[in-house]
Structure 1
Amino acid sequence: MRYSAIALAFLLLGCGTGTSSLPTIKPAPISSTGSPLPDLQPRLDAIGVLLTDCAARLRGEPVAPADNCTHVMPDVTGVIDEVEKQSAKLPPAGQTALAEVRRQLTEIAPCEPWFAAGGTSADGQLDARCKKAWDALFDGYSAVRNSA
């Protein structure tokens, strides 16, 4: 058991040393007043990690078969629902970003088969529309995360 933990530590350390050009959803520096939604920070960060992993899949990079972007959309919707319940605590930019993410979740819904196919299809227009929707969702979620 002890050797397994050591091997896992080295494996995790080795995985974290690579560089990537993928965008990531990272928390913004916390102001001196703190986060307006501290109770949601862990969930917001976890969904940010999932979206970042999904970005790798959509760029054709190898990921675990379970990392399918269609599975992350209900999680994004769930955490956005929770943020909306407390949206009065967000700064105006965060409230605007929240409304934008809600709109983007509606626009991205028809792209689920595209996500399941790894972000490619035989339809160039579908590819362009879904990529644009994905990029907008990713950016919008990052803005919500950073304002919360």
Structure 2
Amino acid sequence: MRYSALALAFLLVGCGTSTTSLPKIAPAPASSSSSPLPDLQPRLDAIGTLLTDCITRLRGEPVDPADNCVHVLPDVTGVIDEVEKQSSKLPPSGQAGVVEVRRQLTAIAPCEPWFAAGGTSADAALNARCDEAWNALFKGYNAVRNAA
């Protein structure tokens, strides 16, 4: 079960990288000085940290209800709402990221039991759907954060 979380981490890092650490949502190297949404950067960073921390909880073992990553999703929605209001300032990658995050927030809605179980369940279809939605949510949010 722990190997599936490790595999998830490697998938989230992306193809062609040789890092062994868990992926993190962080600003792109040169984005901080030329941010189109400087007022939202602290909040985007904070939510990115929460999403990154959730990855370590998806180990295929039940989690404490307080650590259930589903609790982060309203915060993701809130910050994406704010970004969307100013999305015309974002490059196309950021605008596409907002659309993707919205789509994945809808797709991940029925995954609360999956989160509570640490990113796995006895239902293979639920596992696949939630794993895919989580990966896409993480990737989309990272694109938004890097564009902002």
Same fold at TM > 0.5:
yes
Q: Match of 1:52?
A: 52
Q: Match of 1:5?
A: none
Say which one has the larger Rg: 1
Distance in structure 1 (CA, Å) of the matches to 2:64 and 2:52: 13
**C-alpha distance after superposition, 1:7-59 (max 9, x if no partner):** xxxxxxxxxxxx96211111102359610000000000000000001011013
Stretches of structure 2 lacking an aligned partner (at least 5 in a row): 1-18
Is the alpha carbon distance of 1:122 and 1:60 closer, same or farther for their aligned partners in structure 2, counting shifts above 3 Å?
closer
Q: Match of 1:12?
A: none
Distance in structure 1 (CA, Å) of the matches to 2:142 and 2:21: 17
Once superposed, which parts of structure 1, at least 4 consecutive aligned residues long, lie more than 4 Å away?
Answer: 60-65
Q: Is the 8 A contact 2:63 2:118 kept in 1?
A: no
Q: Percent identity?
A: 78
- Higher mean C-alpha deviation, range 89-98 or range 75-84: 89-98
Is the alpha carbon distance of 1:96 and 1:121 closer, same or farther for their aligned partners in structure 2, counting shifts above 3 Å?
same
Q: Does 1:68 align with 2:68?
A: yes
Q: Is the 8 A contact 1:36 1:89 kept in 2?
A: yes
Distance in structure 2 (CA, Å) of the matches to 1:75 and 1:32: 22
CA drift of 1:61 comes to: 8.2
Q: Match of 1:93?
A: 93
Distance in structure 2 (CA, Å) of the matches to 1:31 and 1:142: 13
CA drift of 1:120 comes to: 1.4
| Aligned Cα root-mean-square deviation (Å) | 2.2
Distance in structure 1 (CA, Å) of the matches to 2:77 and 2:83: 10
Distance in structure 2 (CA, Å) of the matches to 1:32 and 1:45: 11
- TM-score, reference length from structure 1: 0.80
Q: Which amino acid aligns with 1:72?
A: V
SS at the partner of 1:122?
Answer: coil
Q: Is the 8 A contact 1:25 1:52 kept in 2?
A: yes
